[in-house]
Amino acid sequence: MKRLAIYCGSASPADPRYVQLAYDVGAQLAARGIGLVYGGGRLGLMGAVAKGAKDAGGEVIGIIPEALVRAEVANYDCDELISVSGMHERKQKFTDLSDGFITLPGGVGTMDELWEAMSWSQLGYHSDPVGILNAFGFYDDLLAFNAKMAAVGFVRPAHQNILIAADTITELLAKMADYQPHTPIFRMKAEEL
């Protein structure tokens, strides 16, 4: 994996562990020679993950909608800052420039990015690993919900291992490196669906 897209919040929660986590993830990616592709913001976890990567000498590519550039939240310390027209184009750029996806703690926008990466994988728009860093148990309920969708039958058996979860970045990166792509819906026959 040469570059990973990192999805995370633009907010700074009161608990400082979240911002520190993002900084540490950026630094650890850089230490492994993995470039960072992220939302291009300078605030919250977004800013922290970029700073961690830059401080450790890593490559940082930000992808930010024009409206957020105008709102003065863009991070101009990126090696490359790509301004796009909107969120759909932003997510397509994440996919085009990355070899995988990691979701850190975040809010609604972070969830949108995670679910789209999973959906696109399931369909066959990409075959890259989709990881979630469940630090501090932040995503316990989401992981339980994902398992429930599978148990009820809304996630096909072939797609139940798309989401790769771990509590530490070291463990998550190892699992992502071992990821074996599944058969996407686009290559399945009707009787398999």
Query: In this predicted model, what pLDDT tens digit does every residue of 1-22 receive, in sequence order?
Result: 999 999 999 999 999 999 999 9
Helix axes 169-177, 17-31, angle to 10 degrees: 40
| DSSP code at position 39 | -
Which residues are CB-contacts of 20 (< 8 A; sequence separation ≥ 6)? 48
Instruction: Provide the pLDDT for residue 105.
Output: 98
- Domains observed in the chain: 3-192 (3.40.50.450)
Beta-ladder partners of 6:
102
d(CA 63, CA 78): 10
Instruction: Provide the pLDDT for residue 31.
Output: 98
pLDDT at 81 over 80: yes
In contact, 150 and 160? CB cutoff 8 Å:
yes
Q: Can you give the pTM of this predicted structure?
A: 0.95
Cα torsion 40, 42, 44, 49: sign: positive
Instruction: Provide the pLDDT for residue 175.
Output: 98
Instruction: Provide the pLDDT for residue 71.
Output: 87
| DSSP code at position 74 | B
Instruction: Report the candidate in 35, 63, 60, 65 with the shortest Cα–Cα distance to residue 50.
Output: 60
Lowest-confidence pick of 57-61, 145-149, 183-187, 188-192: 188-192
pLDDT at 188 over 90: no
In contact, 106 and 7? CB cutoff 8 Å:
yes
Q: What is the pLDDT of residues 82-112, one digit of tens each?
A: 999 999 999 999 999 999 999 999 999 999 9
